[in-house]
Chains A and B, each alone.
Chain A
């Protein structure tokens, strides 16, 4: 009821306690230990295998290359470290998306001049601070392990008449070459981060000085971000994920990754809002805000499924071998190890949120929202896992200490970054011009 609101105090300072820092540190250490154990096991177990592979490679390199092209996108010798770097890459892509969607959410809410989201806007605003971390990690990974993860980085593919010459990949050289690729990567992260810093500064200054000037300026820079993101969300998806399976391409892929990132980001925003509310913060967030966040997740889970299916069905129907190989690899390739992640992904990202979040009551009940958020977050990990792993580690993939440890490291670091940002400012943007509307949000 709109007329019986009692608006609680707007002064809320989030405290990033020493206890939380201690827990996150333990989490990161546990993650490192797990990765260490996994790496040790992989190095010990993978050594013999590497021998066989190397001998096989020496025996008939050209033939092996051909077979690998058909199956894995053509990797030469498998090294156990590849799995380590592939895991770094999966998590980097996942958390890059989670971070940049914070800015995306802020930007489209400014552009639409939305009022309802003002009260919790500090939460999406806190996410993009993680971008430099994943950006640097990805660049390092590319320079250290680029050859293991990205087949197109091999020089021999472009030598006309050479034993490894691949006319299809050579035809993509104008786009897929190291200088342009690295330049694009730097541009993405710098542009996203810089625009976020500007809008974030406006937001913090607005808290101190008030007025509508910062709001107007934020709309301009948000629009600029959306223009940049409209292009870079697609191109980054091609670069960071699709180029792993170099031969294959899908025109839906940019949208598909944006949908994955977006719904992941929405689930994180919702989860943080609900958790903060449970801890006694964000008292001004009412059931209507939760309802709208729930609708957002519900809608974009369906959108993700729509894009997923649009990509799948055209390939399924046209039945061209060079396209269906992508789904073959995931569905039945490599001894079928990717079949489970493939279906878990569809279940957790579409079926589960679709059924759980369908009713009005579900979207207004914090515990159900939390369950749906976790389903979506885990589901989209499998999304990036099934996109990245088959093309990088192929039959050597799986779920072991490396996977769980790496998730733990990245998740704890991400929570740390978000908490540190939340502690930097009042949790409610006191002087946001739309705050009054948001406080009375009633649907």
Chain B
């Protein structure tokens, strides 16, 4: 969750190389500095592990969305075809559930897909009205960017800047939102 904080002040280390930034994450962390986030133009294998991110729970969310969709359609078909207005179609039982398995499947998939998109947007702070924190535009092109939230760290700005430089940052900038 990236909450919008009016007086947030960040130190931004800009790296030229994916291997360097991956190594830098471990070094910066072992110097006792808390990293806000690392932004890269492409996924780097092992970066999430190095940052110590907890495992995503989107799978659990997906399962629950799917289950919701499935139960919604079970209820809807049962209510309409089996309970509210039972009809005999093709000589079958009123509630001939095999015939409704396709729609149950479809709603499971639909709820899962839409629910996961929604979860993704919310958990990454990408809602339509949310203004994302952009630390350095070049992180969408050819630079690897490490952001440090100064308010979350005890060390001084100068100390952290030197840790970033020592870990291989080509530039260290200050970014205020």
Contact = CB atoms under 8 A, between A and B. Distances in A.
A275 B92 CA distance: 48
A330 to B, nearest CB: 15
Contacts of B22: 3
Interface stretch (A46-54, A151-159, A187-195, A312-320): A312-320
Interface in B10-55: 19, 22, 45-46, 49-50, 55
B59 interface: yes
Interface string A1-22: 1111000000000000000000
B101 A309 contact: yes
A313 B98 contact: yes
A367 interface: no
Nearest to A309: B101
A83 to B, nearest CB: 32
B1 interface: no
Interface string A310-339: 001100110100000000000000000000
B59 A319 contact: no
A442 interface: yes
B124 to A, nearest CB: 20
A359 interface: yes
A319 B91 CA distance: 9
A312 B45 contact: no
A68 interface: no
Given A313-B98, A313-B99, A358 B63 contact: yes
Contacts of B128: none
Contacts of A360: 55, 59
A4 B91 CA distance: 64
Given A313-B98, A313-B102, A316-B99, A442 B46 contact: yes
Interface in B43-93: 45-46, 49-50, 55, 59, 63, 90-92
Nearest to B89: A317
Contacts of A319: 90-92
Size bin of chain B's contact surface = 10 to 19
A221 to B, nearest CB: 33
Of B45, B59, B63, B92, most A-chain CB atoms within 10 Å:
B45
A205 B139 CA distance: 47
Nearest to B22: A3
A2 B46 contact: yes
Nearest to A361: B55
Contacts of B50: 1
A3 B46 contact: yes
Interface in A402-443: 442
A343 to B, nearest CB: 14
A317 B102 CA distance: 12
B51 to A, nearest CB: 12
Nearest to A2: B45
A360 B57 CA distance: 11
A313 B101 CA distance: 9
Contact of B46 (A1, A313, A317): A1
Nearest to B99: A317
B59 A359 contact: yes
Contacts of B91: 319
Contacts of B49: 1
Contacts of A317: 90, 98-99
Given A317-B90, A319-B90, A359-B59, A1 B45 contact: yes
A335 B92 CA distance: 23
A411 B157 CA distance: 69
A359 B57 CA distance: 11
A426 to B, nearest CB: 28
Interface string B93-137: 000001101100000000000000000000000000000000000
Contacts of A359: 59
B24 to A, nearest CB: 13
A86 B102 CA distance: 35
A442 B45 contact: yes
Interface of B: 19, 22, 45-46, 49-50, 55, 59, 63, 90-92, 98-99, 101-102
15 contacts: A1-B46, A2-B45, A2-B46, A3-B19, A3-B22, A3-B46, A309-B101, A313-B98, A313-B102, A316-B99, A319-B90, A319-B91, A359-B59, A442-B45, A442-B46
Complex A-B, nearest 5 residue pairs according to Cβ-Cβ distance, in ascending order: A1-B46, A2-B45, A442-B45, A2-B46, A316-B98
Given A319-B92, A360-B59, 18 more contacts: A1-B45, A1-B46, A1-B49, A2-B45, A2-B46, A3-B19, A3-B45, A3-B46, A309-B101, A312-B98, A313-B101, A313-B102, A317-B98, A319-B90, A358-B63, A359-B59, A360-B55, A442-B46
